[in-house]
Amino acid sequence: MIVPAAGLRGQKAPSSLHDAFDSQQAYSYTAQVASFGERWPGTTGHAKTEKLIHDVLKKDGAQVEADDFTAMTPGGFVPVHNIIGKFNVSADPRQPIFILAGHYDTLHKAGFIGANDGGSSTAILLSFADALAHQKTRMQIWLVWTDLEEGTFVDNDGLYGSRHLAKKLKDDGRSDRIKGFFLLDMIGDKDLNVAREAQSTRALQDVIAAAAKQLNYSRYFFQYDTAITDDHVEFLNVGIPAVDVVDAEFGRMGPRFDGMGEFHHANTDTMDKVSRSSLEITGRTILLSVELLDR
Ligand SMILES: [Zn+2]
Q: Which tens digit of pLDDT belongs to each residue from 212-230? A: 999 999 999 999 999 999 9
Residue 141 vs residues 36, 96, 132: alpha-carbon distances, Å: 28, 9, 8
Q: Is 92 exposed, middle or buried (0-12, 13-18, 19+ CB in 10 A)?
A: exposed
Res 153: pLDDT: 64
Q: 260: CA distance to ligand 1 center in Å?
A: 10
Contacts of 8 (CB under 8 A, 6+ apart): none
**How far, in Å, is the centroid of ligand 1 from the Cα of 167?**
22
pLDDT at residue number 15: 86
**How many A from CA of 235 to the centre of ligand 1?**
18
Q: Which of 120, 96, 105 is nearest to 189 (CA)?
A: 120
Residues forming a β-bridge with 80: 69
CA of 291 to the centre of ligand 1 (A): 29
Q: How many CA atoms lie within 13 A of 258 on its CB side?
A: 14
Is the Cβ–Cβ distance between 150 and 38 less than 8 Å? no
Alpha carbon of 89 to ligand 1 centroid (Å): 32
Mean pLDDT, rounded, for 24-51: 98
**Ligand 1 centre from 158 Cα, in Å?**
10
Q: How far is the CA of 131 from the centre of ligand 1 (A)?
A: 26
Distance from the alpha carbon of residue 183 to the mean position of ligand 1, in angstroms: 13
pTM across the whole model:
0.94
Other CB atoms within 10 A of residue 294 CB? 16
Count the Cβ atoms, other than its own, within 10 Å of residue 170: 17
CA of 90 to the centre of ligand 1 (A): 35
CA of 134 to the centre of ligand 1 (A): 32
Give the pLDDT of residue 75.
84
Tell me the pLDDT band of 155, cut-offs 50, 70 and 90: low
- Give the model's confidence band at 12: pLDDT under 50 very low, under 70 low, under 90 confident, else very high: low
Give me the pLDDT at residue 154, please.
Answer: 64
For residue 107, how far is its CA from the centre of ligand 1 (angstroms)? Answer: 6
Residue 138 pLDDT exceeds 90: yes
Whether residue 46 contacts residue 40, with contact meaning beta carbons closer than 8 Å, is answered with: yes
Distance from the CA of 108 to the center of ligand 1, in angstroms? Answer: 10
